[in-house]
Chains A and B, each alone.
Chain A
Amino acid sequence: MSVEAGKLADFGNRAAQPRKGRRLRAFLRNPTFVAGVIILSFFVLLALFADLLFPGDPLDMVGPPVLWPGESVEFPLGTDSLGRDVLAGLVHGARASLLVGLSAAAIGLAIGMVVGAAAGFFGGWVDTLLMRVVELFQTTPTFLLVVVIVAIGEPTMQTIALAIGIASWPTVARLVRAQFRSLREADFVMAARSLGYSNLRIIAQEILPNALPPVIVAASVMIANAILTEAGLSFLNMRDANVVSWGGMIGNGRDLLRTAWFLTALPGVAIAAAVLSLNLVGDGLNEILNPRSDP
């Protein structure tokens, strides 16, 4: 009896809470999401305050070459073969990696959403045409495509981000197309038509907000993939030589892999952690944004 009453009271309290608060609690109750966010915000903070934490160019030679971690108080994570501070490199590298990841994902999302929305909403020959283009991109190995685009242009951060974005939009396009194909038949879209809305308005205001949850999840994974691709490119020396990045650090440490393995292992751990955190966030969002999972 008292348990029942308690439950009821609890239910009443929950109902009385403002909606935003409940949403936030749904986020906080999801351990996967919280873990991902904590790791990710750590990297984001490093990236934001890199200049404060390690003023000066991380590419400067500041100490003796190949100091092991812990060997010197001044360089807690050691130095590389040219005497550059590994910790400073990692912190500044977070900035480069996250920036490339974000901008590549943004470019991929922008192209993919426009193409997917048009194909899914209009169907017919628009769909056929756009989907053939998507397939054209999908039959080319992503990494190869990125390498080709970067090789054609200058290997700057902008080119790299653009190349990764161009190579990754087909996934988003297919996802958005599938969403639009099912949502365009929805009753509320018919209702919108019966109220005299134009197609553009229906796409942007009625369908897109409903199609977003899976796209948001895909975006977090896209950022992770972009970071990995950028690391791969840097490892192949297709990188901006004036910017320190995690992949570049692994590439530099390659020659000393046998003797000073920490030079490749440490940036490798950073990449793994960043990618893991983004995947955790993606998984968490997937659960939270799924309308069938009751928060």
Chain B
Amino acid sequence: MSLLAVENLSVAFPGHVAVREVSFAIEPGETLALVGESGCGKSVTAFSVMRLLPPNARIVSGRILFEGADLLAASAPEMRSIRGKQVSLIQQEPMTSLNPVLSIGAQIGEVIRHHDKLSHRATRARSIELLDLVSIPDAHRRIDDYPHNLSGGMRQRVMIAMAVACGPKLLIADEPTTALDVTTQAQVLDLLDDLRRKLSMAVLLITHDLGVVAQWADRINVMYAGRIVEQAGIEPFFARPMHPYSRGLLGARVDVDADEHYSANRLSEIPGSVGSAMGEAGCPFAPRCPLVEASCRAAPPPLLAFEAGRRVACPVTLAASSELRDILPPPSYGGGAPEGGGGGRQHKRFSNISDLKSAGTPTGALPPRPSRAPPPYDGGGKL
């Protein structure tokens, strides 16, 4: 049984549908990345899992099964005992997510005492342990600091400490490093990954940074205009992105190794904007897609299985790739994308992660993550 299974989730706001028929599952102990550009519904999906949608949002259909129980049917008190204890959330703004008038010790202690009945002394000891766990130096002294005494990275560490205080089984990280600079970002993500292993929890990593996904996720779900358009393991995804949108995203990365520079080559880009998905009856990506066919405009394509653990919502690509299984040509978006880029290059970069742990590692002591390729951060890759 999956730890979390989102089935056919649709969420509507007055006037537009933010999430359409989204289904995905997270296995215990894995990191699943939910990737997409701003406004594609990834945060709404995450907040639906916590049942913390804004009051004007409405869950139109679907089920969210956490360990087999439907969270959408849970009562408010049940939900409160799940939040923070079973499922935790880290928000993207560490600067404003901590209460400015309470010391960080008080805030961490509050979470612990809320879910586990502990004495004051034990709570304080546990808080210091947690601060140690998230690598805050001098934890026994910093515990009495206020949020304004801490830097952004430190605050995000405190947020993480609060989120993992009660040993959740699932941690939802909603763009946890967007507000941080790149060095701090790597530290925070390393910390999250470390905690995932130590505490045997699953992580739903919401991001728009493909560099982050490549280094820290096990599987990826690409969202576009409220739909999941591709689900894949990390290695196959970066080796050979299938959906035209995924391929466009990877094509729009700047590669430092290949001596790419904006002055040498025009950055390849996906023409148009997400706004064009509005009112599109068929595939939301059709207005921007280089491979668009008449049939694409008729009805939104379903997610179709391609290989084991891989599903793509593009019948056109699937039909083409079943003929040319191995040599998928890079999509031509114009704008001077280097020939023979995309797939092959990515494949080489990730070829040393041959022993990626399989999705569905059981809970318990997880094997340490195999050391990965150096961070493929390359200045681009953000949507």
Contact = CB atoms under 8 A, between A and B. Distances in A.
Interface of A: 19, 186-188, 190-198, 201, 205-206, 209-210, 291
B202 interface: no
Interface stretch (B62-70, B83-91, B121-129, B217-225): B83-91
Contact of B52 (A19, A186, A190, A209): A190
Contact of B98 (A188, A197, A201): A188
A187 B93 contact: yes
Given A190-B91, A196-B80, A196-B82, A206 B115 contact: no
Given A206-B99, A209-B101, A209-B102, A197 B114 contact: yes
B159 interface: yes
A191 B159 contact: yes
B114 A210 contact: no
Most-contacted residue by chain B among A188, A193, A198 (CB, 10 A)? A188
A12 to B, nearest CB: 15
A197 B80 contact: yes
B99 A196 contact: no
A197 B93 CA distance: 20
Contacts of A198: 80
A194 B96 contact: no
Given A186-B96, A188-B96, A191-B159, A196 B83 contact: yes
B52 A194 contact: yes
B173 to A, nearest CB: 12
A192 B163 CA distance: 10
B93 A195 contact: no
A197 to B, nearest CB: 6
Contacts of B89: 191, 194
Interface string B98-128: 1111100000001100110000000000000
7 contacts: A194-B83, A194-B163, A195-B114, A196-B80, A197-B110, A209-B101, A210-B101
Nearest to B147: A188
A18 to B, nearest CB: 10
Nearest to A124: B55
Given A187-B91, A187-B93, A191-B89, A196 B100 contact: no
A194 B99 CA distance: 14
Contact of A188 (B82, B97, B111, B163): B97
A210 B98 CA distance: 12
A195 B99 contact: no
A187 B100 CA distance: 11
B162 interface: yes
Interface in B35-70: 50, 52
B265 interface: no
B105 to A, nearest CB: 14
A188 B98 CA distance: 5
Interface in B15-36: none
B81 interface: yes
Those 4 A-B pairs whose CB atoms lie nearest each other, nearest first: A195-B84, A196-B83, A194-B89, A196-B84
A195 B110 CA distance: 10
Interface of B: 50, 52, 79-85, 88-89, 91, 93, 96-102, 110-111, 114-115, 146, 159, 162-163
Contact of A194 (B88, B98, B114): B88
Contact of B85 (A191, A196, A209): A196
Contact of B84 (A187, A194, A205, A209): A194
A180 to B, nearest CB: 14
Contacts of B79: 196
Contacts of B84: 194-197
B299 to A, nearest CB: 37
A171 to B, nearest CB: 23
A21 B111 CA distance: 29
Contacts of B80: 196-198
A131 to B, nearest CB: 19
A187 B114 contact: no
A210 B99 contact: yes
Contacts of B91: 187, 190-191, 194
Nearest to A195: B84
A291 B147 CA distance: 13
Nearest to A198: B80
B109 to A, nearest CB: 11
A195 B162 contact: yes
Most-contacted residue by chain B among A190, A195, A209 (CB, 10 A)? A195
A188 B85 CA distance: 18
Contacts of B146: 19
A61 B79 CA distance: 71
A179 to B, nearest CB: 12
A190 to B, nearest CB: 7
Given A195-B88, A205-B102, 14 more contacts: A187-B91, A188-B100, A191-B159, A191-B162, A193-B50, A193-B52, A194-B83, A194-B84, A194-B88, A195-B83, A195-B111, A197-B114, A209-B99, A210-B101
A205 B162 CA distance: 16
Contacts of B100: 188, 210, 291
A198 B78 CA distance: 11
A198 B83 CA distance: 11
A201 B162 CA distance: 16
A3 to B, nearest CB: 27
Contact of B50 (A192, A194, A210): A194
Contacts of A291: 100
Contact of A191 (B97, B114, B115): B97
